[in-house]
Structure 1
Amino acid sequence: MASALLAACGGTPDGVIDSCKSGLELPPGVSTDILFVIDNSGSMASKQARVMAELESFVSALVEGPVANDFQVGVVTTGVTMHAALCDPEQAPYLYRYEKESGRLQPAKDERGAAIEGPRVLAWNDPDFVENFRGLIAQGTKGSGQEMGLEAMRLALSEPLVSATGPGGNAGILRPGSRLLVVIVSDEDDCSDPTGKALVLRPPCPPDLVCSSDAQCEEGAYCLADGDHRICMPNACDTAEGRARLEPVERYVDFLRGLDDGTGKGRKRETFLAVIGSVALEAPHDPERCMAGSPDEPEGVAVRYREAVRLMGESGYVDSICNESYGTALRQIAGMVSAPHVLELPQAPLDGRLLQVDVRRTSGETQRCRVGDGFSYEPATATSRARVTLEGACRLQHGDQIELRLICAG
């Protein structure tokens, strides 16, 4: 990343650019906090393995970015509660609470699923980072059948967990001023219900409906393998009525985008959301139960996750869990945070509208950006520097160089 040149035009107060020859350097690095939310239900063994197989690609993309990236990672599961019923109509539904999960940072697990002693937040410069990262991803397949990825995210990043120290606490996962990347990996849709009892999950009960495709099943039911045949498996989370009972997706996106940056300056944290979920292989923005009928098929459709990504705009990404390899997806996700998009200016221009940003691409093309057309500008305050947030076509890509200038008369 090239140095940035800013210029101004004449006598100005302290802290404001006062010479057309004033030069400034871009920040030498960024810090990024990464939270993986891993589905640990019964169908996830092969999907967790695909993430683990491509972690070196993910880490390399972060390390090889245009600026130094001080990143760290932690992992939680999608388990919070599960409200389920048996086939006996006289038995009341039961509520199972996953107290040791529920947004709590998880330890690494061995092949038997036993916890391995070690840090629950991994720093990028740990000499065994990739190996330990794989251990954190391997959360097993004995978790909740009601996957609450968005609720687990909220719990992990909220009080009391986010400040709690010791086992069961998440202190240290959010650092002051760091960006936040949340990565959710699940083969079912989000079924977040903070109340725990908004809907009831019911098993397939006699007479089972034998099927050969989803089209033969009722809304919210999928034609899944059950021994040597396939039956319609109901999922209350995937019906229109069920989704209406869940916590609105908008509230989770508002929560994520509203996180304070922890510096005490009253500014919001820069946040990103990525999902590897049950969406179409060729058109990941279309919810679809990809690979239906295969041995590795997902068991739901990512309607709510896709909506969350859509609401995040340029800070959201979705790809299909049915890909044979997650290498491309993980590199794309790393690319979201490999370059800085929010730039603090040690000196502020008199008027942000005079600021011009030129982004030089590796192709040789120059993208010229101004306030409202490529970036937004926040003036300096008594406690914080002015800053530019690059947007749209002006967002940085790997290998880009950037110049910041003031348009000076004469």
Structure 2
Amino acid sequence: MKLRLGLLLVALGAFAGCDDVGGEVGRGEAVPAVAPPRLSPVELLPPVVDRSVTQRVEVRDPPAIPAVQVDVQRQADGIVDILWVVDDSGSMANQRQTLTNNFSRFLQELLALQVRFHIGVISTNYNDRGTLRGTTKVITNDTPNPQQVFLQNTSFPNASRVRLEQGLRMVELALTEPNLSGPNKDFLRPNAALAVIAVTDEDDSSYGDPNYYARFLRSLKGPGNENLSSLSVIGGTTPDGCYPPGEEIYFGGRADPAFRYSTAATKTGGIIGSICDVSFEATLLKIAAALNTLRRVFPLSLKPDPATITVRVNGNLISKDVVNGWQYRAETQSIIFLGNYVPPPGALLRFEYAFVIP
């Protein structure tokens, strides 16, 4: 009996360990029972637009804020070194006299322009090696009787004969060592403009291209200051030359065309005049005007209210006056001095004015 009961229990255990496909529990394909989905209807409604009038917003400019601007500028120094290169040949006797006769007018113009000058004289003669002439080698604003000193420095024997007239080369020698620290040491100032003025009835016969000498002059003041150096010439007109007054009847009286000097003058922005003019005054006045380094126009940094502008020079109030004061030019936003008054060399200018911040 016990044996039968045991066999029955074993059979029941084996039956319970098998699935419906005869395998072990968990090894058959599981097929879950899933209920069918239930869908609910969705109602689509048109959008609702609120067409009621909204309140308008007015955009206004912010209020203007008045402000004061002060511009401070400095006048140029007005310093110029003037080197005269004078032909010392005998044929130039009359022209040298014309030059000295007109020198006082040239000097007056420099003084009127408030130019602080150094004036020296060299010859075109190669034998002089570019050294400054005279006992008083450098004429300044403080030199007593500068007219007489200039006459002495430009006087040569009337019978002088020059074989090698090398004006351009003499300029180079005058402005380089050993002359700069030797006989010409008091002439050239580092902060001054340089003007070379050649007066001759013959063209230059220096070795080398005149463009070389033009580059030499323009390089003297350093990069960015090329325009501070110039060469002007009073010489024979190009292309045919000319006869100085009263010398038409003389053999060899014709002044040679100054091709080389004119080339150097053109390259350096100088003035070209004729040695055959009855007077050199017009040419000398042009040269003097070109030597004026004082500024007459001073731009403002902001657009001012013209009624509020005040101008002070070295602390002194300058009136708004066409002749003896300043004017404001709206088209250039500048203060200008076009009348008799020009701020002096090195002066400190103060421009104060109101402007509007938008």
Q: Which residue of 2 aligns with 1:103?
A: 130
Taking a change above 3 Å as real, the CA distance of residues 291 and 143 of structure 1, as seen in their structure-2 partners, is closer
Give the one of 158, 172, 197 matched to 1:154: 172
Q: Which residue of 1 aligns with 2:229?
A: 271
Q: Give the counterpart letter for 2:243 in structure 1.
A: M
Give the one of 321, 326, 340 matched to 2:275: 321
Q: Which residue of 1 aligns with 2:83?
A: 35
What is the RMSD computed on CA atoms of the aligned residues? Answer: 3.8
Q: Which residue of 2 aligns with 1:307?
A: 263
User: What SS does structure 2 have at the residue aligned with 1:176?
Assistant: coil
User: What SS does structure 2 have at the residue aligned with 1:163?
Assistant: coil
1:71 aligns with 2:117: yes
Q: Which residue of 2 aligns with 1:374?
A: none
**TM-superposed deviation, 1:309:** 1.4
1:173 aligns with 2:187: yes
Distance 2:157 2:329 in 1: 48
The structure number with the bigger radius of gyration is 2
1:338 aligns with 2:292: yes
1:253 aligns with 2:214: yes
User: What SS does structure 1 have at the residue aligned with 2:85?
Assistant: strand
**TM-superposed deviation, 1:301:** 1.2
Taking a change above 3 Å as real, the CA distance of residues 338 and 298 of structure 1, as seen in their structure-2 partners, is farther
As a proportion of its length, which structure holds more strand? 1
Taking a change above 3 Å as real, the CA distance of residues 397 and 178 of structure 1, as seen in their structure-2 partners, is farther
Residue identity (%): 26
Taking a change above 3 Å as real, the CA distance of residues 253 and 361 of structure 1, as seen in their structure-2 partners, is farther
Task: Check whether the contact 2:235–2:255 (CA below 8 A) recurs between aligned residues.
Answer: no
Q: Give the counterpart letter for 2:185 in structure 1.
A: A
**TM-superposed deviation, 1:54:** 0.7
Distance 1:60 1:192 in 2: 33
Task: Check whether the contact 1:43–1:298 (CA below 8 A) recurs between aligned residues.
Answer: no
Distance 1:344 1:271 in 2: 23
Encode CA deviations 1:155-208: one digit per residue, 9 max, x unaligned. Answer: 1011121122xxxx2101101201111110000111112xxxxxxxxxxxxxxx
Gaps of 5+ in 1: 1-18, 81-97, 108-117, 194-246, 280-285, 350-359, 371-393
Gaps of 5+ in 2: 1-66, 302-320, 344-348
Distance 2:357 2:115 in 1: 38
Taking a change above 3 Å as real, the CA distance of residues 361 and 400 of structure 1, as seen in their structure-2 partners, is farther
Task: Check whether the contact 2:76–2:295 (CA below 8 A) recurs between aligned residues.
Answer: no
Give the aligned length.
257
Encode CA deviations 1:308-351: one digit per residue, 9 max, x unaligned. Answer: 11112xx3100000001111111111111134369999xx98xx
Distance 1:258 1:398 in 2: 34
Taking a change above 3 Å as real, the CA distance of residues 304 and 130 of structure 1, as seen in their structure-2 partners, is same
Q: Which residue of 1 aligns with 2:103?
A: 55
Give the one of 173, 176, 181 matched to 1:163: 181
User: What SS does structure 1 have at the residue aligned with 2:90?
Assistant: coil
**TM-superposed deviation, 1:131:** 1.1
User: What SS does structure 1 have at the residue aligned with 2:271?
Assistant: strand
User: What SS does structure 2 have at the residue aligned with 1:54?
Assistant: helix
Task: Check whether the contact 2:203–2:256 (CA below 8 A) recurs between aligned residues.
Answer: yes
Distance 1:404 1:368 in 2: 21
Distance 1:154 1:342 in 2: 33
**TM-superposed deviation, 1:401:** 6.3
Give the one of 172, 180, 184 matched to 2:198: 184
Give the one of 11, 23, 27 matched to 2:71: 23
**TM-superposed deviation, 1:404:** 11
Taking a change above 3 Å as real, the CA distance of residues 295 and 53 of structure 1, as seen in their structure-2 partners, is farther
Taking a change above 3 Å as real, the CA distance of residues 266 and 277 of structure 1, as seen in their structure-2 partners, is closer
Task: Check whether the contact 2:80–2:194 (CA below 8 A) recurs between aligned residues.
Answer: yes
